[in-house]
Homo-oligomer: A and B are copies of this chain.
């Protein structure tokens, strides 16, 4: 049994493997998985919020150093992050899985389990999907559907001059984790670099903070940090022709990153700024709302930091702890074959 590959279980076997009982997760699913299409109903006070994303073997993950369930977890988490960054709540998912026939069934099962775990934790029902064979790497695509009241939707537009800039959690861990992954074998759980590696392969989104920020209608503009702080902060500024002053000393840097930067004789600040795959929430709001924002993020169990201020001048600058002010470099481009 344990050597069985997916060509032996056929399309129906694979579909079953990737299915979750929609009923067990709730949600107004009118037609569950198994028909030509699925159908769901939202009350008229809600809009549907939709996003899609793929994880490609050899580009986004490598089964040589990532357990298959963690691959499945990340597929869902990065999309939960997108829905959270709209101030919306994730509800339904559709999966499209392309999987080579030589893949062990156990690998597919464990990927499916990871998907299921994060879906369940977020109250997401998988209502549709499709499996195909492929002569190439595993490709996993999810479409995640959330809901929000229109007044609670937070877009990338809306930032005002004088706004404070906030970010949840820590920045730069996943980027340092990528360096660690490229440098050698995966660190063990007692390696001080393990939290960095874990941030890379198994990011945790901020759905509760996203919802609470949406409900409170305190936030002017928001996105998640997926391409790195330097690049993503511009997404909140450029639509309005604005700039920012970032306080380097205010950037949220984890102990693990601080230790890693020290060990490699660098400052953690450029790592945090360049970042990438942080899946934190980055948002702008009236500076007077800071106490309320701190309170509601605390209620969501999510740390939040005030890291800068929006300026009328369109440059984006960083004040380093030394007092020196430098231009913020842009982040990295995703669309390059990765050399790990």
Q: Which residues of B contact A34 (CB under 8 A)?
A: 156
Identify which of residues 293-337 in chain A touch chain B, using a CB-to-CB cut-off of 8 Å.
333-337
Q: Is the CB of B96 within 8 A of A54?
A: yes
Q: Is the CB of A42 within 8 A of B48?
A: yes
Q: How far is the CA of A44 from the CA of B129 in the complex (A)?
A: 25
A137: contacting residue among B130, B134, B222, CB under 8 A: B134
Q: Is the CB of B52 within 8 A of A96?
A: yes
Identify which of residues 40-96 in chain A touch chain B, using a CB-to-CB cut-off of 8 Å.
40-44, 47-54, 56, 58-60, 82-83, 85-86, 88, 92, 94-96
Q: Which residues of B contact A222 (CB under 8 A)?
A: 36
Q: What 1/0 flags go to A123-143 for Cβ under 8 Å of B?
A: 000011111111111010101
Cβ of A95 to closest chain B Cβ, rounded Å? 7
Q: Is the CB of B47 within 8 A of A44?
A: no
Q: Which residues of B contact A180 (CB under 8 A)?
A: none
Q: Is the CB of B37 within 8 A of A335?
A: no
Cβ of A190 to closest chain B Cβ, rounded Å? 33
Q: Is the CB of A128 within 8 A of B52?
A: yes
A30 close to chain B: CB less than 8 A: yes
A122 close to chain B: CB less than 8 A: no
Q: What 1/0 flags go to A18-50 for Cβ under 8 Å of B?
A: 000000000000110011111111111001111
Identify which of residues 93-113 in chain A touch chain B, using a CB-to-CB cut-off of 8 Å.
94-96, 98, 101
A290 close to chain B: CB less than 8 A: no
The residue on B at minimum CB distance from A52 is: B94
A174 close to chain B: CB less than 8 A: no
Q: Could you list 13 A-B pairs, sorted by A, with CB under 8 Å?
A: A30-B150, A30-B153, A36-B156, A48-B48, A50-B128, A52-B130, A56-B134, A60-B132, A96-B96, A96-B141, A131-B335, A132-B335, A134-B139
A interface with B by C-beta (< 8 Å): 7, 10-12, 14, 30-31, 34-44, 47-54, 56, 58-60, 82-83, 85-86, 88, 92, 94-96, 98, 101, 127-137, 139, 141, 143-146, 148, 150, 153, 155-156, 222-224, 333-337
